[in-house]
Structure 1
Amino acid sequence: MAAAVPAVRRLLDDGSGRRPRADARRNVERLVAAARRAAAEGGEITAHEIARRAGVGVGTFYRRVGSLEALLEAVLGEVLEEITAKGDEAMADPDPWRGFTAFAFAYIRLRNELCDVNQRLGDVLDHSRAALRDRVRDLVERAQRAGVMRTDTTWEDVAFLLVAASSTGPHTLGLRAGARQWERNLQVVLDGLRCCDPVPLTGEPPALPA
């Protein structure tokens, strides 16, 4: 997980231009990190739970971040920025397929966290997805021009395929998902998109409960 600098900066900026106290910054950093852990783990996202995870009192929570919604909006904006930055890094990779693959894995990992927070807020930052659409389109079209991705799919197809790979419930047909199920799913999707040899799968396959 990346350092929570953008979210912390948003929450500490009161418009005065004054440098925040060190203890205030530490508390906000803890709250941002706790909110992201709760979202990533599928845990309860409430002021009391986040304060507990951060090791601060509820009074400190509200004094430092104002409200649960303000904290989650800052976290959501931070995750969106991280996904966009991963797209920029992928575009800078001289190998189009390697760049796209790195983005795909980072995107799904961060998207799962993003969706947990965004669902709690009711899609308040839906408009920010335009930047993500641009990154997916650019990466797909670059890989296709380089001849490393099949050209009978569109970038819109790829967006849906990435979401399908990430949508892994813990059980299906009486089977229990492997610990890295979404990674296996994604590798199969990537091999289906690639014009070359498949890459060995990671993790273990699903199994019946013991």
Structure 2
Amino acid sequence: MSLIVFDDSKIDEIKKRNIKDSEEQPFDVVEASKESKGGSELLYARVKERVPKDAWDYFQVILSRVRKLEDKPRILWFQDTSQDPEVQFLKKKEERDKFERFVFPSDWSLEKYNLDLGVEYEKSVVLKNAIEPIPAHAKPKKGPIRLAYISTPHRGLDVLVAAFRAAKFENVELDIYSSFKIYGWDKQDEDFEPLYNACRETPNINY
């Protein structure tokens, strides 16, 4: 079975298609995500909790998508790919100059933004994503090896499922936690149902 290839441009198409009425306000991912509990939003909240309030208030810390710029030093913290339509404005140096620092979740992400958009290394730092610490514990000696995918579906889930099917592991199970429901974007899931069904139908994948 061939799997549909999804990318950021696909997400953009879905958003536009799901506007119910032409007179309604256009879908805005920032507004739609205000109450979401996705990984990016949780990380943002945890970092804010740990930074002294006066230091936090001195800067404008923007998570991924720029809307209103405040009159203070600005830090742009990325969680999206360099191909996302929301970040293409950074190809212009005068736009990049509006920010003091850029923050990335990985060296790979920083490299992609540098190659694709010209984001300067000297203005960038890597702050890796994290989870709540897991207490030390003994790994079970019996049972399958367990893997997990925890992200939205357009970030390579189709590639992962195709690779997992091709590998035909007998002693590996893959747990997939993926949808747009956590963001309140249930309509966006409709176009990914073929991919979700592929997850459900694949042996050793738990979705």
Considering fraction of residues, name the structure with more strand. Answer: 2
User: Comparing both chains, which one has the higher relative contact order based on Cα–Cα distances under 8 Å and sequence gaps of 6 or more?
Assistant: 2
Give the alignment's TM-score, normalised by structure 1.
0.31
Give the alignment's TM-score, normalised by structure 2.
0.31
Considering fraction of residues, name the structure with more helix. Answer: 1
